[in-house]
Amino acid sequence: MKSFAVYDPGDFYDELVDSSGMPRPGARLLVEKIESLPEGDLTLRQKAAEAMLLKMGITFNVYGRDEGTEKIMPFDIIPRIVPGNEWKQIENGLKQRTFALNEFLQDIYNEKKILKDKVVPEDLIFTSRTYRKECEGFTPPRKIWCHVTGTDLVRDRDGRFYVLEDNLRCPSGVSYVLENRRVLKRTFPQVFEASHVRPVDDYPTKLLEMLEYLVPPHVQSPTIGVLTPGIYNSAYFEHSFLSQQMGVELVEGQDLVVAEGFVHMLTTKGLKRVDVLYRRIDDDFIDPEAFRPDSLLGVRGLVGVYKAGRLAMANAPGTGIADDKVIYAYVPKIISYYTGEDPILPNVPTYICRNDEDRAYVLAHLDQLVVKAANESGGYGMLVGPHAAEAERAAFAEKIKAEPRNYMAQPTISLSRVPTIVGDRLEGRHVDLRPYVLFGKDIYVQPGGLTRVALVKGSLVVNSSQGGGSKDTWVLKEI
Amino acid sequence: MLSRVANSIYWMCRYIERAENVARFINVNLNLLLDMPSEKGKHWEPLVMITGDQLLFEKHYRDFGQEAVMHFLTFDRNYPNSILACLAAARENGRSIREIISSEMWEHLNHFYLELADARGAALALEDPHRFFRIIQMRSHLFTGLMDCTMSHGEAWNFARIGMMIERADKTSRILDVKYFMLLPQADLVNTPMDNIQWTAVLKSASAFEMFRKQQHHITPRNVAEFLIFDSQFPRSIRHCVSKSQVCLHRIIGSSPGSAQNMAEKLVGRLKSELDYTDIDEVIQFGMHQYMDSLQKRLNQVDTAIGGTFFNLKPLVETSTAEQ
C-alpha cells in the first residue's frame, strides 16, 4: 500500500506535503523512499527504532511499582523537515529575541529603564512569582542571564511560525534531539545523506564552550559540572547524557558543600573547588538559604558564593520573570525597546486578563480560546477552550476572575501537522518545535530542535506528560 | 572523582559479581543433582546457607524445595540478594554514573536487566535452567570484559575492580565454608574417603575444576580448600582477590605497595600478608569454619574502611556563607 497516496493532509498546514498532497520540495526524497518500501516495512523500522531507544536506556521510569515499569519517550520515525530558507528566518528571530530578553533581565534587576519608560507595567514585574528580589543590583558574569533557552514555536494554518512561549529557566529535551537523530540516521540512512540535513551533534561542544566562557578570570584549570536533582528526576537521562558528552562532572546537591567562600565537590581525595555549574534545578530549590528553606536538592550557601563572583552558573537565578506567560505578551515591545527593530518572529496574539477589556473578551469567548496560567509549564494549568467541557470552562472563568494577573489567553492555533505512523498507515498529527539557543560569546541556535507531536488524534497538547511524543527535525542546508 | 560516584561504581560491580555467583551456585547444584537423584530433597538448603539469609527464606517459604529456593535466589524482588534484585541495584547504580562508565557497559547492563525482568526470563528458567543460569554467568563475564576494554583503567575502574574482588573473595569463602560443613562434619578427617563428585562440584562452583587439575591431581578436601584459599594465580581464590584489591587500592591512592596511608590500605595489607604467610594445615588446625568466618568479617571491615576513607567524606562545613 502506498502510504502517501492515501494520506490526507486535511485542512491544516502539513509540514511534508502541500494541500494537494504533493511532497514539499525538501520532503520529496523522503516521501519517495517511504512509497518504495515493501508493505509492513515502515512498521518494522518504527519497531526497530523503539527497540534501539529502549536498549540505550532512554526511558521514563514509573517508580514505586514492583515491575519497575519503564517506557521510552514515544518517538515517531517520520521526521519533520524544515527548508533552509525558513530556518534562516527562525534563527535570526531567535537570536534577536534571546538578545532582547537578556537585555530585559539585566535592566529590570538593575536600572529598570523599561519600567520607568512604561513599556512594561511595573506592577506586573513585582507581582510575578518568578521575580527574584535577591537578584536586584546583581550583574552575572559577562552580563549573561539566559545561557540556555528553549523557545516553543508553532506554525499556523497560514504557514507562518509564531512564538508560543519562552523557556528561560531549565528547558529540557535537547538530549532527545541528539538521540532521535542517532536513531533516525539508522532508520533512513540513504535519504538522510541525500537530503543534506544540517548536523545537530555539536550542541554539547557549543554548550561546553559557553560554560567555559563563564569561568571566572582568576581560574586556571576550571572544574565544570552539571547539577542534577538526581536519578528520580524525569530529565535525569539528559543531565547525565550532557555531562558525559561534555566530559564534565555530574553532581547532585549532596555532592556539594560551601566552605571557605567557595563551592566544593566531595571527592575520594577530599574537597575540590567547582567553578561553573550548569544547573538543572529550579531557582526555588537551588539553595535552602536563599530560596525555599525546605529544599533537600540544593546546596546551602550556593547563591552567596555565586553573588560573590566565585562561582558561575547557567542559567542565572531570576530568569523566570522573562518567561512569565503574561510578560510574554510584552516581548514584541521588549524586542523593539532594546534593539530598535521589529520582531522577526511574531507572537501569537494574546489577551492579558488583567486588562479589563481583554478580560471581558476572554470570559465571553472561552470556548474559542486557550487560557494559560502565568507560571505553569508542562501543559498544566491550561484550558483548551474548544476541547473543554462546559463545567471546566466555568471553573476556569472563576479562576480568572479571582486572579486576573495570573492568566492570559490566546486564540486556538491550528498547529501544523506531520504524517505520523498510526497502526499500518500514516495520519496527520499536530506538532510544535522547540529549538535550543545558547548565549555565550555569541548566540548560537542549534539547527533543528525538538519536534513534539501530539499523538492523540486531534489533540493540540504536545507535552510528554500529556501523551506527546517526539520526532527528528531535519533542517536542510540552503542550496 | 566524586565520592558518590566511586561508591556507585564499587557497588555496581559488587552486585553484578554477586548475581553471577548465585547463578553459578544454582547451576552447579542442578548439575550435581542429575548425578544423585536420590539426594534431591537435601541439596537446596545449603544454597540458601551460602547466602547467609536462611531466616529471611524461612519467613517467606515453607520448605527448601528446588522451586522455592530457585525462585528465592533468582526472581524474588523482596530478597535484596536475589539475582534480579542484584541486577536492579547494579543498574540503578549504573544509571547514576552513566556519564562515567562507557555506553557499551551501560547498554549491556540495561539489556541484561531488562531481559531478566521480562516474563520470558522466568519461563526460560523453568524450561531450561542450565541454559538460563549459564546465560547469566556469561553476561556477567561480558560486562567484566566490556569494563576492561571500553573504560579507561583510571580511578573509577580501580574502584570497580575492588568491589568485584571483595565480593568474589567473600563468595568463595562462603562456598568453601558451607560445603566443608556439609561434607565433612568432623573437620579433622583429612584424606578420608569422600565423595569425589561433591568436591568436584565445590570446585565447579568456583569455576575452578580444570585449573585445580593442572595444579593438583587428587581431589581431597584439603587440596580443594588450599586451592580456593591460597592459590596465587587462580582468579577466584581468596588470596588472589585480596591481592588484586590491594593493587587497585595503591593505584587509587598513588602509594607504593608495602605502605599504608589510611585504614583501608592497612586492613587490606594485613589480610594480604596473612594469606601470604599461612598454609592450609594451619587453617585446618584452627578450624575451617572459624577461619572462613573470620575472613568474612575481615572482608567486611575492609569494605567499611573503604567506605570511611573514600565514600563518606564529612567535611567541616562553615555555616556562614561568603562575605558579600
pLDDT of B41 strictly over 80: no
Does residue A457 form part of some domain?
A: yes
Last residue of a domain, one of A339, A374, A394: A339
Q: Considering CB atoms only, which of B96, B107, B315 is closest to A266?
A: B315
Paired with A473 in beta bridges are: A80
Paired with A417 in beta bridges are: A14, A430
Look at residue B175 in the predicted model and tell me its pLDDT.
85
List, for residues A229-244, the tens digit of each pLDDT value.
Answer: 988 888 888 999 999 9
CA distance B313 to chain A (A): 7
pLDDT of A190 strictly over 50: yes
Peptide bond into A85 cis (omega under 30): no
The mean pLDDT of A17-22, rounded to a whole number, is: 92
Residues A217 and A141 in one domain: yes
DSSP state of B99: T
C-alpha cell at B13: 560491580
The mean pLDDT of B20-42, rounded to a whole number, is: 79
Based on the number of CB atoms within 10 Å of its own CB, is B190 exposed (0-12), middle (13-18) or buried (19 or more)?
A: middle
Look at residue A147 in the predicted model and tell me its pLDDT.
97
C-alpha cell at A445: 541556535
Residues A252 and A109 in one domain: yes
* CA A176 from centre of chain: 11
Provide the residue range defining the domain that includes A369: 351-411
Q: Do B98 and A240 touch (CB under 8 A)?
A: yes
Q: Do A252 and B4 touch (CB under 8 A)?
A: yes
Q: What is the mean pLDDT of chain B?
A: 87
- pLDDT range class, residue A67, cuts 50, 70, 90: very low
Q: Considering CB atoms only, which of A55, A250, A254 is closest to B111?
A: A55
List, for residues B205-254, the tens digit of each pLDDT value.
Answer: 888 888 998 888 788 888 889 999 999 999 999 999 999 999 999 999 99
Look at residue B322 in the predicted model and tell me its pLDDT.
30
**b/e map A16-37, b = 16+ CB within 10 Å:** bbeeeeebeebbbbbbebbeee
Cα–Cα nearest to B299, from B159, B164, B169: B169
CA-CA distance, B120 to B130, in Å (whole number)? 15
Enumerate the residues of chain B whose CB falls inside 8 A of the CB of residue A262. 322
CA-CA distance, A56 to A41, in Å (whole number)? 23
Residue that is written with C-alpha cell 572482608 in the block: B299
CA distance B111 to chain A (A): 6
Q: Do B155 and A307 touch (CB under 8 A)?
A: no
Angle in degrees, CA A429, A95, A371, rounded to 5: 45
Q: Do A259 and B315 touch (CB under 8 A)?
A: yes
Cα–Cα nearest to A59, from A217, A179, A166, A141: A179
Q: Can you give the CATH number for the domain in which A230 is found?
A: 3.40.50.11290
Residues in chain B: 324
Residues A216 and A310 in one domain: yes
Look at residue B119 in the predicted model and tell me its pLDDT.
84
CA-CA distance, A114 to A202, in Å (whole number)? 36
Q: Do B2 and A257 touch (CB under 8 A)?
A: no
Enumerate the residues of chain B whose CB falls inside 8 A of the CB of residue A266. 2-4, 313, 315
Last residue of a domain, one of A383, A411, A439: A411
Torsion angles phi and psi, residue A169, rounded to 5: -95, -85
Residues A223 and A371 in one domain: no
Q: Do A258 and B322 touch (CB under 8 A)?
A: yes
CB atoms within 10 A of CB A448: 29
Relative orientation angle of helices A203-213 and A174-187, to the nearest 10 degrees:
160
Q: Complex ipTM, two decimals?
A: 0.78
A51 at the B interface (CB within 8 A)?
no
Q: Do B321 and A305 touch (CB under 8 A)?
A: yes
Residues A137 and A225 in one domain: yes
Does residue A2 form part of some domain?
A: no
Does residue A44 form part of some domain?
A: yes
Look at residue A235 in the predicted model and tell me its pLDDT.
84
Q: Do A258 and B310 touch (CB under 8 A)?
A: no
Does residue A168 form part of some domain?
A: no
Q: Considering CB atoms only, which of A250, A266, A304 is closest to B99?
A: A250
Does residue A57 form part of some domain?
A: yes
* CA A29 from centre of chain: 29
Cα–Cα nearest to A266, from B95, B317, B124: B317
Residue that is written with C-alpha cell 555549574 in the block: A277
CA distance B319 to chain A (A): 8
E-strand ranges in B17-81 read none
The mean pLDDT of B46-50, rounded to a whole number, is: 85
CA-CA distance, B312 to B308, in Å (whole number)? 5
The mean pLDDT of A331-343, rounded to a whole number, is: 97
Please compute, for residue A363, the number of CA atoms within 13 A of its CA located in the half-sphere on the CB side.
17
Paired with A227 in beta bridges are: A251, A279
Distances (CA, A) of B211 to A94, A465, B18, B207, B230: 67, 56, 22, 8, 13
Look at residue A181 in the predicted model and tell me its pLDDT.
95
Enumerate the residues of chain A whose CB falls inside 8 A of the CB of residue B116. none
Best mutation target, A268, A277, A291, A300, to test chain B (most B CBs within 10 A): A268
Map residue A422 onto helix, strand or coil: strand
CA-CA distance, B175 to A290, in Å (whole number)? 55
Enumerate the residues of chain A whose CB falls inside 8 A of the CB of residue B100. 244
pLDDT of A91 strictly over 80: yes
Q: Considering CB atoms only, which of A230, A244, A257 is closest to B99?
A: A244
Give the H or E element holding residue A382: strand A382-384
B88 at the A interface (CB within 8 A)?
yes
The structural domain count of chain A equals 3
The mean pLDDT of B136-150, rounded to a whole number, is: 96
- Please state which of the ranges A97-106, A246-255, A335-344, A375-384 shows the lowest mean pLDDT: A375-384
pLDDT of B324 strictly over 50: no
CA-CA distance, A146 to A161, in Å (whole number)? 22
- pLDDT range class, residue A17, cuts 50, 70, 90: very high
B9 at the A interface (CB within 8 A)?
no
Enumerate the residues of chain B whose CB falls inside 8 A of the CB of residue A67. 117
Does residue A164 form part of some domain?
A: no
CA-CA distance, A306 to B173, in Å (whole number)? 52
B120 at the A interface (CB within 8 A)?
no
B99 at the A interface (CB within 8 A)?
yes
Q: Can you give the CATH number for the domain in which A400 is found?
A: 3.30.1490.270
pLDDT of A68 strictly over 80: no
Residues A455 and A329 in one domain: no
Cα–Cα nearest to B229, from B178, B175, B145, B173: B173
Q: Rounded to two decimals, what is the model's pTM?
A: 0.86
CA-CA distance, A324 to A167, in Å (whole number)? 9
Residues A130 and A277 in one domain: yes
Enumerate the residues of chain B whose CB falls inside 8 A of the CB of residue A307. 324
Last residue of a domain, one of A318, A339, A360: A339
CA distance A248 to chain B (A): 9
Residues A121 and A259 in one domain: yes
The mean pLDDT of B76-84, rounded to a whole number, is: 93
Residues A370 and A462 in one domain: no
The mean pLDDT of A343-369, rounded to a whole number, is: 94
- pLDDT range class, residue A122, cuts 50, 70, 90: very high
Q: Do A55 and B315 touch (CB under 8 A)?
A: no
Residues A435 and A334 in one domain: no
Among A residues 66-105, those touching chain B with beta carbons less than 8 Å apart: 66-68
DSSP H helix total and E strand total for chain A: 14, 22
The mean pLDDT of B179-191, rounded to a whole number, is: 59
Look at residue B38 in the predicted model and tell me its pLDDT.
64
Enumerate the residues of chain B whose CB falls inside 8 A of the CB of residue A240. 95-96, 98-99
B154 at the A interface (CB within 8 A)?
no
Residues A115 and A238 in one domain: yes
Q: Do A260 and B318 touch (CB under 8 A)?
A: yes
Q: Do B92 and A231 touch (CB under 8 A)?
A: yes
When comparing pLDDT for A48 and B34, which is higher?
A: A48
Distances (CA, A) of A400 to A348, A351, A376, A406: 20, 12, 14, 7
Share of chain A above pLDDT 70, in %: 96
pLDDT of A472 strictly over 90: yes
List, for residues A395-451, the tens digit of each pLDDT value.
Answer: 999 999 998 988 999 998 899 999 999 988 899 999 999 999 999 999 999 999 999
When comparing pLDDT for A4 and A332, which is higher?
A: A332
Does residue A268 form part of some domain?
A: yes
Q: Which residues contact A474 (CB under 8 A, 6 or more apart)?
A: A26, A79, A80, A81, A82, A192, A195, A197, A448
Enumerate the residues of chain A whose CB falls inside 8 A of the CB of residue B159. 268
Q: Do B322 and A267 touch (CB under 8 A)?
A: no
* A–B CB contacts, 8 A cutoff, strictly below: 93
pLDDT of B74 strictly over 70: yes
Q: Do B317 and A257 touch (CB under 8 A)?
A: yes
- Please state which of the ranges A24-28, A111-115, B151-155, B193-197 shows the lowest mean pLDDT: B193-197
List, for residues B156-173, the tens digit of each pLDDT value.
Answer: 999 999 999 999 999 999
Look at residue B186 in the predicted model and tell me its pLDDT.
52
- Please state which of the ranges A8-12, A62-66, A468-472 shows the lowest mean pLDDT: A62-66
C-alpha cell at B276: 601470604
CA distance A392 to chain B (A): 41
Look at residue B219 in the predicted model and tell me its pLDDT.
84
Paired with A151 in beta bridges are: A166
Region label for A470, one of left (φ > 0), alpha (ψ between -120 and 50) or beta (otherwise): beta
Q: Are strands A224-228 and A249-252 parallel, antiparallel or unpaired?
A: parallel
Q: What is the mean pLDDT of chain A?
A: 91
Does residue A20 form part of some domain?
A: no
CA distance B22 to chain A (A): 21
List, for residues B88-136, the tens digit of each pLDDT value.
Answer: 999 999 988 988 999 899 999 999 999 999 888 888 988 999 999 999 9
Residues A109 and A228 in one domain: yes
CB atoms within 10 A of CB A275: 22
Among A residues 243-302, those touching chain B with beta carbons less than 8 Å apart: 243-244, 249-252, 254-255, 257-262, 264-268, 270-271, 289, 301
Q: Do B95 and A236 touch (CB under 8 A)?
A: yes
Cα–Cα nearest to A56, from A173, A183, A174: A183
